[in-house]
Structure 1
Amino acid sequence: MKIHIVELKYIKSEDEITRVRPAHREFLDIGYKNKLFLASGPKEDKTGGIILAVGDINEVKELLKNDPFHKEEVAEYSFKSFDAVKSASEIASLL
């Protein structure tokens, strides 16, 4: 199974991030509902966030075009994918 690591890097002020964050978190529910997202959250250093996603990477990228962080241009995205040849049973049961 392919797992995609989506890294968000904040490019605007903390005030802008704080303003857009509620809409971003609401948007994330769409990815979970569509079973594309496994986990998400802010990085410990608060410079951005991480989304773990599955499925077709193009579908993930297309969905993220509607993310308020993208639309409001407060974050940049980078993508890394890997073949998860082994995983915890909890992750496998989500797929």
Structure 2
Amino acid sequence: MFIINFNFVKPIEEVNNYTELHREYVSKQYKNGIFILGGPKDPRNGGIVIANSNSEKELCEILDNDPLIIEKVAEYSLTKFTPLLSITNLKFLLGESK
């Protein structure tokens, strides 16, 4: 799994021009089960997404096609981690049965 840390590199007014396209794009990744949780940071200078992927290459290909990245209004960094603990209704992420 990965934590994706989006940081805006342009003023929020410019980011807002691509926010709807970004949300449409990432909604497909949620439907595909790649992204499992995400949202804007507070203050709104970027966002955080938890991704269910074992392949950094695959994840970078997805992220590099995000409108925010294509339009160069945001950048991202990845942190790979192995989840070991969760609340009960997230146990499926640990490979445990319900």
What is the TM-score with the length of structure 1 in the denominator? 0.89
Structure number with the bigger relative contact order (C-alpha 8 A, sep ≥ 6) is 1
Q: Which amino acid aligns with 1:64?
A: L
Task: Report % sequence identity.
Answer: 34
Could you tell me which residue of structure 2 aligns to residue 54 of structure 1?
52
Aligned counterparts of 2:89 and 2:24: Cα–Cα separation in 1 = 24
- The gaps in structure 2 that reach 5 residues or longer are none
What is the SS of the residue equivalent to 2:50?
A: strand
Aligned counterparts of 2:90 and 2:11: Cα–Cα separation in 1 = 35
- The gaps in structure 1 that reach 5 residues or longer are none
Q: 81-90 or 10-19, which moves further after superposition?
A: 81-90
**Equivalent residue runs for 1:1-95 within 5 Å:** 3-56=1-54, 57-93=56-92
- Whether the 8 Å contact between 2:37 and 2:49 is mirrored in structure 1 is yes
What is the SS of the residue equivalent to 2:18?
A: helix
Q: Cα offset for 1:85?
A: 1.3
* Length, aligned pairs only: 93
Which structure shows the bigger proportion of residues in strand conformation? 1
Greater radius of gyration (CA): 2
Q: Cα offset for 1:86?
A: 1.7
Aligned counterparts of 2:41 and 2:32: Cα–Cα separation in 1 = 24
- Whether the 8 Å contact between 2:12 and 2:45 is mirrored in structure 1 is no
